[in-house]
Amino acid sequence: MYNFRACARLAVKFQKLTSITNHQSKREIKRYVAPTLRELTKRQKKQENPIVNPRSKYLDWNRNAELYAFNQRLTEKFDLELLEQAFTHRSYVIQEEEEQKKVGIEDPQLDILDNRELVEEGKQIAPLIIDNYLSQVLPLAPLECIDALREYLLSPEILAKTASGIGSTDLILSTDFPVEGKTLANTFYALISALNRSVDLEHTSVFVRDILIARLVEKDLMEIWCPEEPLEILNDILDREHRELAEPRIIAQTGANTVTPVYQIGIYSNRELLGTGFGETIEEAQNIAALKSLMGLFGLLDCSPPIRCDKKMSDSVAKNMPLKEWSRSN
């Protein structure tokens, strides 16, 4: 009996050791992986002019199917002819005309419409939609803040990221490859105009809200709009509201005699705490406290609710007040 129990214990221990060894071996990286990756990287560096073609040059490319898939993927109602025009840039048309002339056609007549008109129309529609919606979801923000957010959303970098994010890169007909940021931005303007012509302005507003304006949710709005001299702006607002001017006070400090001191400043108005801020100097902490006090009045603090992206566009929205006229009574 004793020998049987000892053998059973040894068998269990051997089974555990075997399972641990097998588990560890599965997690190990094979010896051939590192040399293979080094060789592939070396060969890639040796290629001076790698051949890269746009996706539309491949034999299995079906443009009509891709345009239809783009429409269905976004669950939109683009007219396919307008969608084709929105993706066609003037440089592509010029290139096709030059190729026609090379084969002997002196006056080529191409039945291709470029997107220049759609781009210009989209540049007129997009700012109106953004201003309307931001004024609705940020009613306390001053006009300068709305302008800064609009300029951020309509910057070429953001428009290019947005156009690329919805899968329009491979569909663009242009001479530049890889597609430049300006071309992507103009394509997004053309898509806005094409959707407006295909459906209506209300549906286009929802598209811009869901695709473009929603990017503000992931951003700290103070990074986009940060007014200079916040203490003076705060005092002007308090004066218009007939309240006592801002009074900065040191709430706490540490390491005053060290290389890295930290000060905490509070902004008060008639014993009412408006905001606090930290800084390595008293002036820096005071500016941050004044800035946070302003953002608290405008509803733009970190703890404020994020921008809503589910509101329905309103036809009549009150225009935001500029800083020189802003007060809670207005």
The pLDDT tens digits of the residues spanning 234-247 come to 999 999 998 999 99
**DSSP sequence for 112-151:** ---SHHHHHHHHHHHHHHHHHHHHHH-TTS-HHHHHHHHH
Q: How many distinct helices (H) and strands (E) make up the chain? A: 13, 3
Q: Which residue has the higher pLDDT, 276 or 17?
A: 276
Per-residue pLDDT at 151 exceeds 80 = yes
Q: How far is Cα 177 from Cα 169, in angstroms, rounded to an integer?
A: 10
The pLDDT mean for the chain works out to 86
Residue 44 pLDDT: 79
Per-residue pLDDT at 319 exceeds 80 = yes
Calculate mean pLDDT across residues 306-326. Answer: 82
Residue 230 pLDDT: 92
Calculate mean pLDDT across residues 102-124. Answer: 85
Residue 293 pLDDT: 93
CATH class of 229-298: alpha beta
Residue 3 pLDDT: 60
Tell me the pTM: 0.79
Per-residue pLDDT at 25 exceeds 50 = no
For 319, which DSSP code?
Answer: P
Question: Considering the domain 71-222, what is its CATH architecture?
Answer: Orthogonal Bundle (1.10)
Q: How far is Cα 61 from Cα 53, in angstroms, rounded to an integer?
A: 12
Residue 304 pLDDT: 79
Domain ranges of the chain: 71-222, 229-298
In the three-class reduction of DSSP (H, G, I as helix; E, B as strand; rest coil), residue 269 is classed as strand
Residue 16 pLDDT: 61
Sign of CA dihedral 156, 219, 70, 313: negative
Copy the structure tokens of residue 119. Answer: 């781009």
The pLDDT tens digits of the residues spanning 195-214 come to 999 999 999 999 999 999 99
